[in-house]
Chains A and B, each alone.
Chain A
Amino acid sequence: MASLIACPHCGPRPKEEFTVRGDAGITRPTPDAGQEAWHAYVYLRDNPRGRHKEHWHHTSGCRRWLIVERDTMTHVIYSAVDAATIGETV
């Protein structure tokens, strides 16, 4: 894992300042979406070997939620953007 994440608000910061939530590809279903959609949302995850987009929270910094794209094999970080700029359609 790269040591630094370039927070769009705070600049390059050590990754220990962040909390990882995981797969950013899942979107909260509507309340009436049904069992299957809710099961997938709560329990199923993309878990690629390679490029992956995830939610990272800058807990010890600006406290914004970011979407970090990185490689799970090489640990290279490609980008970090504020989750709000992308919305729920990631």
Chain B
Amino acid sequence: MITASFHGESIMRYSAFSVFLNALRGNKSWQPAWRSPVPKNHYDVIIVGGGGHGLATAYYLAKEFGMTNVAVLEKGYIGSGNVGRNTTIIRSNYLLQGNNPFYELSMKLWERLEQDFNFNAMVSQRGVLNLYHSDAQRDAYTRRGNAMRLHGVDSDLLDRNAVRQMLPFLDFDNARFPIQGALMQKRGGTVRHDAVAWGYARGADMRGVDIIQNCEVTGIRRENGRVTGVETSQGFIGCGKLALAAAGNSTTVADMVDMKLPIESHVLQAFVSEGLKPFIDNVVTFGAGHFYVSQSDKGGLVFGGDIDGYNSYAQRGNLATVEHVAEAGVAMIPALSRVRVLRSWGGVMDMSMDGSPIIDRTHIDNLYLNAGWCYGGFKATPASGFCYAHLIAKNEPHETGRAFRLDRFARGRMIDEKGVGAQPNLH
């Protein structure tokens, strides 16, 4: 077996060879992918939230910035939040300055992630197509595609025939929303979401990071204007720096230091159908309503639409939204009316006031904030972790994440990709 030694324990490197060897040994010598340590009294850095962003931050802190006396505190289990609830789409097809280079950094990190953390995350660059249904929408997508190319990101504007060749089953002649073409990003696609959490968790753990599950942060202790540690369901734990990465629960944690955020929590639902033979090769989004779909390797159609629209922490939504999503889906692919849905669920989104995230320091010197990911933070996971780790380690923003400042609202520097203003339920 191939092993490497870190902090006195031997960690198995995954490879085709190790799969083969373990099979010969009856699969009895696999090790747990990460430890379950008892929390220490004090860490240099505590990260609140063991979602994709918290775990990626810990991984890059240890791997890129040499900070290993780090703990990730997760109130549930790893992967129980949005990182394990999303529809797994990755893309970097953004229009605006602050966004585009950041999501492209993330895409580049996705492209080498599996080698980097030695875990199969099933990164699949199957292409993302955004359909357009009118001349005006084509013009808007042309502009977006050009902006992407100016940033060095791939984009292709497809006409109706090109789309028809790829996806003949779409309703091209829909009376209200005929399909005229699509903007395609070939490098976009899907990634197995919970493998991302596991891969980062394992990579951080093997470098010495403590991942502490079932540990809810209930209070933040401060002395002389600085954070000294956190109260948790497993007792007090001291820290030099505190980094929040609680996604949909960002407000509840920020409330512990009376920090009011430009964020509302909303519920977003997702759906999986029965398994079908392969027929949707790409990720496809409807341009006349909010609907997006891809097909998993097991054959299930994975799809979703709009947030429900009211503040919620419940991780479940309403039937009216289910109906709305189904209608949009059938308007795009009539054959969906014959498909049965197997499962649906909801996740709590940290919807920000301009639809863009925050990676910044706060009014408290050693408190850091990572929040506001809305319904699109999965694709951001690698870049978010990387930029946040940079900020925590160096007290300076990473060049690529510079625009995501908390004070941008006060300074009039919103990054409003959709252009709907300070109304979180419309982003």
Contacts and interface: CB of A to CB of B under 8 A. Distances in A.
Q: Does A pair with B?
A: yes
B410 A72 contact: no
A52 B255 CA distance: 15
B310 interface: yes
B409 A72 contact: no
A72 B422 contact: no
Interface string A20-62: 1111000000000001100110111111110010100000000
A75 interface: yes
9 contacts: A1-B317, A21-B423, A36-B410, A40-B260, A43-B422, A45-B262, A45-B424, A47-B263, A74-B314
Contacts of A39: 409-410
B308 A1 contact: yes
Given A43-B409, A49-B251, A74-B314, 17 more contacts: A15-B318, A16-B320, A20-B309, A20-B311, A21-B423, A22-B264, A22-B311, A22-B423, A40-B260, A43-B262, A47-B264, A48-B251, A49-B249, A49-B265, A54-B310, A73-B313, A75-B312
A72 B309 contact: no
B263 A42 contact: no
A22 to B, nearest CB: 6
Contact of A1 (B262, B263, B318, B425): B318
B260 A72 contact: no
Interface string B250-293: 01100100001111110000000000000000000000000000
Contacts of A3: 318
Interface residues of B, number: 27
Given A22-B425, A72-B265, A47 B251 contact: yes
Contact of A47 (B311, B314, B317, B423): B311
B353 interface: yes
A83 to B, nearest CB: 17
A73 B423 CA distance: 21
B409 A73 contact: no
Interface of A: 1, 3, 14-16, 20-23, 35-36, 39-40, 42-49, 52, 54, 72-75
A38 B285 CA distance: 37
Nearest to A46: B260
Given A20-B425, A39-B410, A44 B311 contact: no
A73 B263 CA distance: 17
A6 to B, nearest CB: 16
A73 to B, nearest CB: 5
A20 B251 contact: no
A78 to B, nearest CB: 14
A67 B317 CA distance: 21
A76 to B, nearest CB: 11
A45 B422 CA distance: 11
B220 to A, nearest CB: 16
B410 A54 contact: no
Contacts of A45: 260-264, 424
A80 B317 CA distance: 21
Given A20-B425, A43-B262, A47-B263, A54 B409 contact: no
A16 B255 CA distance: 31
Given A22-B425, A35-B410, A39-B410, A44 B262 contact: yes
Contacts of B264: 22-23, 45, 47
Nearest to B316: A75
A52 B314 CA distance: 14
B351 to A, nearest CB: 9
A52 B260 contact: no
Contacts of B249: 49
B320 A42 contact: no
Nearest to B315: A73
A20 B310 contact: yes
A48 B308 CA distance: 17
Interface centre among A14, A42, A47, A49 (most CB of B within 10 A): A47
Contacts of B425: 20, 22
A90 B308 CA distance: 26
B311 A72 contact: yes
A79 to B, nearest CB: 16
Contacts of A42: 353, 409, 422
